Chain A
Amino acid sequence: MNSQLRWKFIFIAAVILFCIYGLIGVPTFPTSSAQVKQNLSDRIKLGLDLKGGSHLVLQVQVDEAIGQRCDQAVDQITKQVHEKNISVGEIRRVDDTHILVRNVDPNTSGAFRDLVSNQFTDWTLAPAAGETNGYMLGMKPSIVADIRRDTMDEALETITRRINALGLTEPTIAFTGRGENEILVELPGEGDPTRAKSVIQAGGQLELNRVADEQTFPSESAALAAHGGVLPPGAEIVVGKAESTQAGQSPQPVYYILDRAPIITGQDLRGATPAPSSNYPGQYEVRFQLSTASAARFGPFTEANIGHRMAIVLDHKVYTAPVINGRIEDSGIIEGNFSQESAQDLSLVLKAGALPASIKYLEERTVGPSLGADSIREGVRASIGSIIVVMIFLVIYYRLSGVNAVVALALNLLILLAFMAYAGAVLTLPGIAGVILTIGMGVDSNVLVFERIREELRSGKAPASAVAVGFDRAFLTIIDTHVTTIVSAVFLFLFGTGPVRGFAVTLVIGLLSNVFTSIYVSRAIFDWHLSRMDRQAELSI
């Protein structure tokens, strides 16, 4: 063996060792066959379609957060205008990012413009079209973009906290990067995501408000009518949680009139825990503790309002409105016919914090664990079976050279798997498609070379030069076919979505390793064989 060839084999051996190490030698060097198996199954990450689990795509309704900001601005402007004695006709939100102010008194319009430009710097001011003395406030695009980004980041963090609190194994929570405002949640091994879904979707906005009117009303209009059509300043009508108090009765809606400004919000919570209900045996309740700062506010408030009612409002629904019997320092109870699980989930949601905007589910795919197991078993069994058949055929058809091809193919698979392990790539069903195309092209590369060598042999060349010419000629073809496919795979990766990308990744890795095995490795084996055999002996091909 000449030295150049020796170095080739040393390099190939190094690659093989590196790959084997990557597959079974990490994280701890195995000492038993069980550990080898364990490492292998840890290293080759399977997608949810093969392993079983839930794949959820949800969309954050970001426009809600923008609209909320707009509402707040309307409130603030109304208040400021009032304080500064600026006379205006109407202040109204037009859409999520625009506020219309009508009939500003020309005498105070200067003061109005100063107010907006000094205190509402997030807004642009322009005369409203078709209005005399009317103005249109528009949220600056940079501010809209900020709110969008912040809302998405906050939603992602909140969802992450909630899912981690559920204690599921290895969840993935990330932006999909596909559509706008989409978050991907993957829960491996989860066969029934119903509970996780409701925990993710729960708003989690807790507010404690003073009840402005001790009465309750059967409808919104009744509540308004009781006050002559105009609510007390700073008050709002909130619906009660509909639930039947007696079995068999359909729930009657109840409406409350509450102070709009909450005394306590979810951000004031220090903790929340589920506990068996003290008033209703068999039910559960959620007990919460307040932070020190808010307790300092809450104590005096409750003391001043003994005998009044206070509403516990969750996601804009009144859960209970108990009468305050004495000073309360830093704790409270939410009652609401909870089961143990729903009480647990609510306290978890309260602790994790509220979502900045509501969310909608766009997609759910749940592969049961038995289907995943079947897919792997059948897919792997069929793939291995067909690879073996192909290999046997290659050996029969090309004899010793066929063995060469088998080595190249096996090495190709090894490199592909190891590379995926090192890169942390996930093997999915479409990924298996990529593997199959890789094997197909691997077989093809070998066949191309061998057929070419046979041709050269037929034309009367000696084995050594036939091999050299065969590889040289086939090399161009192999490069062309591989580069074409890699080019297409790169485009698929750039523009495709999840499954298509999985296909592209395995394909690119497989094709690169194929060029290495079917040209470099196969050539080295041929050269080694030629260096040992008699110059005039026949090549086994």
Chain B
Amino acid sequence: MEFFRNVNVDWMGKAKYFVALSLLLLAVGWFSILRNGGLRYGIDFRGGTLVYVRFSGPAPIDQIRKGLQAAGLPNSSIQSISDNVLNGNSQNDVVIGIEKKGEGDEALDASKQAILDVLHKTFGTANTAGKQDFNSITPSSLAAYLTQKDPLSLSTNAGDRYNQIAQRLTDARDKEHGGIVTNFDDLRNVDGATPSVLAALKDGFALDNFTIRDVEVVGPKVGAQLRRQAILATLYALAGMLLYIAFRFEWVYGAAAVIAVFHDVLITLGFFSIFHFEISLTVIAALLTLVGYSMNDTIVIFDRVREDLRLMRREPFAQVVNKAINQTLSRTILTSGLTFLTVLVLFLMGGEVLRAFSFAMVVGVVVGTYSSFGIAAPIVVLWNKYRGQGTAARAGSAADKRVVAAARR
């Protein structure tokens, strides 16, 4: 099976269209960023409090908002999220966020407590009945409770046995019931959950109809520090790549590859703004992945250019580049197609936590592939034209250049 054979496209002849397309994408994305007042940073980089809550039914957003307002937290944001893109009608999950600019770290901690208090006050049944909430208990506390109650009247090894049962019960809650049990009888099938154990549970616990899935509290200073460090690390990594490519090829290849990668990141950030995704630490990992991917793609083409230069000494440099792109086109389409498929599956089915990450990848794979022939290659061609070295013979390796220089003398 083969998709492409003997492709013959004049890529460099279309370079101006590619550049125009890139400029358009950049303009659209960065217009959106400017209109939104800058990039939307996640809690990691901005500092603030974020509480991710799951309800057993559709999340009562209005009630939450009223509760937060009554507690003096009007600046909080409430966002409904779905667990799965394909299953967009699930309305059970919300993220409550509070941003505290310029305040101390104590204020952040307090705002987390305030959100939890509001939730417990508004929806909690456990506290009012003087019971603990089963949906938020840890295995060790549950084991301690069971050991104290001893519903199985065990004489030996009671602790071990109850530890086991507690672990199984909480596992069933977290893995089979998505963190929320609505009825103790749902746990009947758990190994070790005998009627007497269930009775002990009903006796000591209530079931809140929500559970805290994730809490993030980041001080504003830490946020700024993390942001600076992520940017620095990325810049150093880019510099490292530039040096290596400059060493293996010529410096203009390194510069072109790095410019192309920069272009990819900028466009992806624009898409992030258009589709209202936030930049978090995980997204940084995704951006780094796409940097690696795009760089890989560019080097494959450059490698071929280098090889073809030795064979096609008399042809115009642009021809050589065209040929290299055409020769590697089959590989380019295949690799990026498969990678695109992988990240698309991840985006559609990977769950909430991976959503922003896989979105960056989906955009990044397309842009990263395109920039290799649409941006990086034209830059090298343009540079050679500018230097007046239109033919392959003179644009060759450093060794060739020395020969040319010697001939000029």
Contacts and interface: CB of A to CB of B under 8 A. Distances in A.
Partners in one complex: yes
Interface of A: 49, 52, 57, 167-169, 178-179, 189-192, 194, 360-375, 377-379, 381-383, 385-387, 389-390, 393-394, 396-399, 429-430, 432-434, 436-437, 439-441, 443-444, 447-448, 451, 454-455, 458, 473, 476-477, 480-481, 483-485, 487-492, 494-500, 502-503, 507
Contacts of A382: 345-346, 348-351, 354
B263 interface: no
Nearest to B350: A382
A432 B348 CA distance: 16
A376 to B, nearest CB: 9
Interface string B310-340: 0000000000000000011011001100110
A439 B342 contact: yes
B1 A483 contact: no
Contacts of B232: 495
B361 to A, nearest CB: 7
Contacts of A441: 292-293, 296
A52 B138 CA distance: 11
Contact of B240 (A167, A361, A362, A487): A487
Contacts of B2: 454
A433 B343 CA distance: 10
B245 A189 contact: no
B36 interface: no
Interface in B36-90: 52, 54, 83-84
A361 B217 contact: yes
A485 B292 contact: yes
A244 to B, nearest CB: 20
Interface string B1-12: 110010000000
Given A368-B179, A371-B214, A495 B236 contact: yes
A370 B339 contact: no
- Among all A-B residue pairs, the 6 with the closest Cβ atoms: A370-B179, A378-B351, A430-B285, A488-B237, A496-B233, A386-B342
Given A378-B351, A443-B338, A360 B105 contact: yes
A488 B292 contact: yes
B105 A361 contact: yes
26 contacts: A178-B225, A191-B136, A191-B212, A194-B113, A362-B218, A368-B211, A370-B213, A374-B353, A382-B349, A386-B343, A387-B342, A429-B353, A437-B293, A440-B293, A441-B292, A447-B331, A477-B304, A485-B295, A487-B241, A488-B288, A489-B292, A492-B233, A492-B234, A492-B236, A500-B281, A500-B284
Contacts of B304: 477
Contacts of A167: 140
B230 A496 contact: yes
Interface stretch (B154-162, B167-175, B200-208): B167-175
B390 interface: no
A52 B214 CA distance: 9
A487 B299 CA distance: 14
B174 A369 contact: yes
Nearest to A496: B233
Interface in B272-311: 281-282, 284-286, 288-289, 291-293, 295-296, 299-300, 303-304, 307
A52 to B, nearest CB: 8
A192 B343 CA distance: 33
Given A192-B136, A361-B109, A477-B299, A386 B284 contact: no
B340 to A, nearest CB: 10
B151 interface: no
B370 interface: no
A433 B244 contact: no
A497 B229 contact: yes
Contact of B216 (A364, A430, A447, A448): A364
B222 interface: yes
A169 B331 CA distance: 49
A447 B335 contact: yes
A362 B222 contact: yes
Contacts of B230: 496-497, 500
B241 A488 contact: yes
A194 to B, nearest CB: 8
A494 B349 CA distance: 33
Contacts of B23: none
A427 to B, nearest CB: 13
Given A369-B170, A499-B282, A503-B288, A444 B351 contact: no
B357 interface: yes
B394 interface: no
Given A49-B353, A495-B233, A496-B230, A370 B286 contact: no
B27 interface: no
A436 B342 contact: yes
- Among B2, B238, B307, B353, max chain A CB count under 10 A is at B353
B219 interface: yes
Nearest to A365: B216
Interface in B147-197: 170, 173-175, 178-180
Nearest to B225: A179
B248 interface: yes
Contact of A480 (B226, B243, B299): B299
A68 B286 CA distance: 46
A488 B240 contact: yes
B105 A362 contact: yes
Given A368-B212, A447-B331, 11 more contacts: A192-B136, A364-B216, A366-B212, A433-B357, A436-B289, A437-B292, A443-B338, A451-B330, A487-B241, A491-B237, A500-B281
